[in-house]
Structure 1
Amino acid sequence: MTRPVPLTRALISVSDKTGLIDFAQELATRGVEILSTGGTAKALREAGLSVVDVAEVTGFPEMMDGRVKTLHPVIHGGLLALRDNEEHLAAMEAHNIQPIDLLVVNLYPFEETVAKGAAYDDCIENIDIGGPAMIRAASKNHAFVATIVDVEDYPALLAELDANDGATSYEFRQRQAQIAYARTAAYDAAVSTWMAKAIGEETPRRRAFAGKLAQTLRYGENPHQKAAFYLDGSNRPGVATAKQWQGKELSYNNINDTDAAFELVAEFPVNQPAVAIIKHANPCGVATGKTLAEAYARAFDCDRTSAFGGIIALNQTLDEATAKEIAAIFTEVVIAPDATDEAKTVFAVKKNLRLLTTGALPDVKAPITTFRQVAGGFLVQDKDNGTITPDDLKVVTKRVPTEQELKDLLFAWTVAKHVKSNAIIYVKDGATVGVGAGQMSRVDSTRIAARKSQDMAEAMGLTEPLTKGSVVASDAFFPFADGLITAAEAGATAVIQPGGSLRDQEVIDAANERGLAMVFTGMRHFRH
């Protein structure tokens, strides 16, 4: 049945009562009879609206702390009955079942309860049963019943009624049914994911992922690809939760690169000004400094060419001095926990620059599950939250790193986690001076990073490459000594790497022959 269905009777039972009264009043002015339950009915009555309790319709009171109230044939019959089916109509008449034309339900706040860190039993009590059952029933019967599960769809329903003389069109009901099934799917996904974690089930038999549309994007990585941005409901500080102060809409690549930049810069203590400049999801400069402006200048000097049109992340409030430095070249996005009014004024004249503030930095140690689609399935893993301390390092060479080398080695290792493999990072005095990323050969990454450092030095009028006197990090072990030898020739004096190669001794010997200090982490940071 595809004709419009007049709306005469609605069942409203909502946890989120945002906009409820105004919405219900609009329905009442259109002559719609309202059925309701519990707190929703109470709120409507207090607003002066006429409401029929579901308990009056079913003949049963709400019981078991509200667990049982809508699970009744009179309710589900009113939602599920096919009104062009003679047998269904006869059953409705025989059992005094009245049709329900509209279901308005939003679910118990399970996701919010979990996000607040509630106890197990509290989370269980916030699993909605009657709501999903009614939503699924009404949505299945969208030939006759409209379903609203999101507050933001109240205006759309009212506009639909106005456009159809108080009725809903089949196309509207279809669309709302799809939205409703996606909501119950996301809800069940949240419950199953939480429960798997709560009982220690690391690889559950079935796994579900869900998201809520935040933005339909102009296109994906390339103009011929369709794309959209979805929120996972975790509220992790970052691009998903940020406030955009200016600039045009973020693109797919902007969002991806901004996330990479902010996750990297969050690795550094908030009392240590740090800046990361990202291009194509790889850092082209990362540095700390006494001020943000100094940190930015040092990061920029790693690779000024690649920084053009890049993404910049800061781990402290963006100030005016830093904003002025950033505004000197074209930048796509700047993201920071906050920004001063003076910094916003500096950026205001840069119409194409997007400024995002998040209010906080993400917790880089928080457990997060990541997934990636492959043909026929998904790869699921924990986010790489691996960190090391000086006590975790094993010195494998005759020479022990100096105090400054050790600081730089740990800095380089932190950056290595955020560089695509094969990754090589040269660092000097708390700033990257060469980054080699994404090469098929580790020695190629070593050479590329060294060459870029030399080019940068020449552009700055220096006679020696920036890598002279630096340390170097490798995200995985050196399979041969050639990569380490190349780093030594570039001027590196100390090396940090996981170790674990069959040729470790060959690499150690090469380091000893050249007077390098080298430490093993026992941990690698592949990033594909």
Structure 2
Amino acid sequence: MELRYGINPHQTAAPAAPVSPGKWPVRLVHGTPSYINLLDALNGWQLVREASRSQGRLAAASFKHVSPAGAALAGPVDEVTAELHGVAGDTMGALASAYLRARDADPKSSYGDFAAVSHPVDAELLTGLVCDGIIAPGYEAGTVGRLSWKKNGRFLVLEADEAFTPPPREAREVFGVRLTQERDQEPLSPALLDDNLGGVLPEAAAADLLLGLAVLRYTQSNSVCYVRDGMTLGIGAGQQSRVDCTRLAGAKVDRWWLRRHQAVRALAFRPGTRRQERQNRRVDGAKQGCGHRTTSAPDRAGNSGESR
């Protein structure tokens, strides 16, 4: 598989090749990926496959620069999310709902993301959304043709092989040194949550924890993830301090709730303002409302909770 360039555009990249000759985990359907595109696709696919298998539900992730901006299971799309993305949430298919819920964790970062979904795709999924590419286990008739027109024909489409089994060990080369480790293949199941100090977990809490474990497995460390009702509300990734990770993820959760405040929803825009600009303004408006406090997220009515 030919790559356009390495991590940065000035770095040339050698063609990508499977570890076991002829055994590809993905098939390039359309476009030419960069180094980061392929990393996002491979990690995103693993995340949604594991999340879906552990829950028995459709899953989606929005990947950006080798970490998920958001991930979610199929579920209801509230009117705020539907309004923000310009869609009709009550008529949306299950897979489209999972992807939109995933993007809603951090819609500003998800602009130009790489989408990963656990089930075959129809063209509805990415309608009206700015995205660099997608990986899925299949595509309904006519979908690839319609997607290939996105980004002036440069949109990336990859098809994952659901039956592919990765090698038990993985390696990475850095500065002339090859590092090899056992692949993390611990199954994500409710049994992982049995040993806890709080007793038996409610079914919904256990489901959210399993989704969070799938997300964090493919998020650059240090990392923290907040999950609610089968969707991430905030992910803090790649920070040197766990405290900073927690603050970063928590601030995104605050902004998620504040985007639902009537004052943020009532923001007026000049005619002709692009949808993404409106989204960014609402996100920034919610951010200003958060300030720099460490507090609990507001409730649905927009009332602030007590500090924790």
| Cα offset, 1:367, TM superposition | 4.3
Q: What residue in structure 2 maps to residue 263 of structure 1?
A: 46
Residues 1:352 and 2:154 are matched in the alignment: yes
- Measured after TM superposition, the shift of residue 377 of structure 1 is 2.2
1:459, distance to aligned residue in structure 2 (A): 3.6
Counterpart residue identity of residue 353, structure 1: F
Give the whole-Å Cα distance in 1 for the aligned partners of 2:69 and 2:147: 22
Q: 1:432 to 1:458 in 2, by over 3 A?
A: same
Cα separation, partners in 2 of 1:462 and 1:432, compared to 1, 3 Å? farther
Structure 1 position 234, deviation (Å): 5.4
The separation in 2 between residues aligned to 1:447 and 1:274, in whole angstroms, is: 26
Pairing 1:222–2:8 present:
yes
| Aligned partner of 2:62 among 277, 283, 290 | 277
CA contact (8 A) 2:113 2:132 kept: yes
1:367–1:382 Cα contact (<8 Å) kept? no
Deviations along 1:189-231, whole A, 9 cap, x unmatched? xxxxxxxxxxxxxxxxxxxxxxxxx42x343112332211331
Identity of aligned residues (%): 32
Unpaired runs of at least 5, structure 1: 1-213, 465-485, 492-513, 515-528
1:437-492 residue CA offsets vs partner (Å, 9 max, x unmatched) = 0111111111101112222333454689xxxxxxxxxxxxxxxxxxxxx998358x
Task: Tell me the distance in 1 between the aligned counterparts of 2:245 and 2:181.
Answer: 26
In structure 2, relative to structure 1, the CA distance for the partners of 1:264 and 1:235 (3 Å cut) is: farther
Which residue of structure 1 aligns with residue 279 of structure 2? none
Question: What is the distance in 2 between the residues matched to 1:361 and 1:312?
Answer: 20
Q: Does the CA-based 8 Å contact 2:225-2:235 persist in structure 1?
A: yes
The 1:312/1:388 distance shift into structure 2, 3 A limit, reads closer
Corresponding position of 1:306: 109
C-alpha offsets along residues 86-138 of structure 1, whole Å, 9 cap, x if unaligned?
Answer: xxxxxxxxxxxxxxxxxxxxxxxxxxxxxxxxxxxxxxxxxxxxxxxxxxxxx
Q: How far has the Cα of 1:384 moved from its partner?
A: 1.6
Q: Relative to structure 1, is the Cα distance of residues 406 and 434 closer, same or farther in structure 2, using a 3 angstrom cutoff?
A: same
SS of 1:277 mapped into structure 2: strand
| Amino acid in structure 2 at the alignment position of 1:227 | A
Q: 1:409 and 1:313 mapped to 2: Cα distance?
A: 20
Q: Does 1:320 align with 2:112?
A: no
Q: Which amino acid aligns with 2:12?
A: K
* CA offset digits 1:231-280 (Å, max 9, x no partner): 12355553xx31323x4x21122112111211211213365211111000
User: 2:196 aligns to what?
Assistant: 395
- The residue type paired with residue 437 of structure 1 is A
Note the C-alpha offset of 1:298: 0.8
Q: Map residues 189-200 of structure 1 onto 2, 5 A cutoff.
A: none
What 5-or-longer segments of structure 2 have no aligned partner?
76-93, 265-292, 299-307
Does the 8 Å CA contact 2:224/2:236 hold for their aligned counterparts?
yes
8 Å CA contact 2:257–2:297 kept in 1: the answer is no
In structure 2, distance between residues paired with 1:220 and 1:383: 24
AA aligned to 1:489 is S
Q: Compared with structure 1, are the counterparts of its residues 361 and 301 closer, same or farther at alpha carbon in structure 2 (3 Å cutoff)?
A: farther
* Contact 2:132–2:155 (CA under 8 A) maintained in structure 1: yes
Q: Find the structure with the greater CA-based Rg.
A: 1
Distance, in Å, in 1 between the alignment partners of 2:233 and 2:163 is 25
SS at match of 1:266: helix
- Match in the other structure for 2:136: 336
Q: Contact (CA 8 Å) 1:237, 1:361: kept in 2 or not? A: no
Cα distance in structure 2, aligned partners of 1:339 and 1:462: 39
Paired residues for 1:290-305 under 5 Å: 291-305=94-108
Shift in CA distance, 319/306, structure 1 to aligned 2, threshold 3 Å: same
Letter in 1 for 2:171: F
Q: 33, 39, 48: which one pairs with 1:250?
A: 33
> In structure 2, what is the Cα distance between the partners aligned to 1:313 and 1:428?
20
Q: TM-score by structure 2 length?
A: 0.72
C-alpha distance 406-218 of structure 1, shift in aligned 2 (>3 A)? closer
Report the counterpart of residue 81 of structure 1 in structure 2: none
Relative to structure 1, the CA distance from residue 389 to residue 337 in structure 2 (aligned partners, 3 Å threshold; closer, same or farther) is: closer
Classify the secondary structure of the residue corresponding to 2:158.
strand
CA distance in 1, matches of 2:64, 2:23: 22
The equivalent residue for 2:211 is 411
Instruction: Determine which of 20, 26, 31 is the counterpart of 1:233.
Output: 20
Per-residue deviation, 1:375: 3.7
Q: Quick one: distance in 1 between partners of 2:250 and 2:220?
A: 17
Give the 3 Å change call, closer, same or farther, for CA 443–268 of structure 1 in structure 2. Answer: same
- Asked if structure 1 preserves the Cα contact closer than 8 Å seen for 2:50 and 2:214, the reply is yes
Of 352-361 and 285-294, more deviation after overlay is shown by 352-361
Taking a change above 3 Å as real, the CA distance of residues 315 and 342 of structure 1, as seen in their structure-2 partners, is same
How many aligned positions are there? Answer: 248
RMSD over equivalenced CA pairs, Å: 2.8
Mapped partners of 1:219, 1:411: distance in 2: 33
Q: Which amino acid aligns with 1:316?
A: H
What is the TM-score with the length of structure 1 in the denominator? Answer: 0.43
Q: Is the 1:257–1:279 contact (alpha carbons within 8 Å) kept by the matching residues of 2?
A: yes
Alignment of 1:54-453 (within 5 A): 214-215=1-2, 217-231=3-17, 232-233=19-20, 238=25, 241-245=26-30, 247=31, 249-269=32-52, 272-289=57-74, 291-322=94-125, 326-350=126-150, 351-360=153-162, 362-363=164-165, 366-393=166-193, 394-397=195-198, 400-453=200-253
In 2 relative to 1, CA 451–224 (structure 1 residues): closer, same or farther, beyond 3 Å? Answer: same
| Contact 2:148 2:154 survives alignment (8 Å) | no
**TM-aligned CA distance change 1:369 to 1:234, over 3 Å:** farther
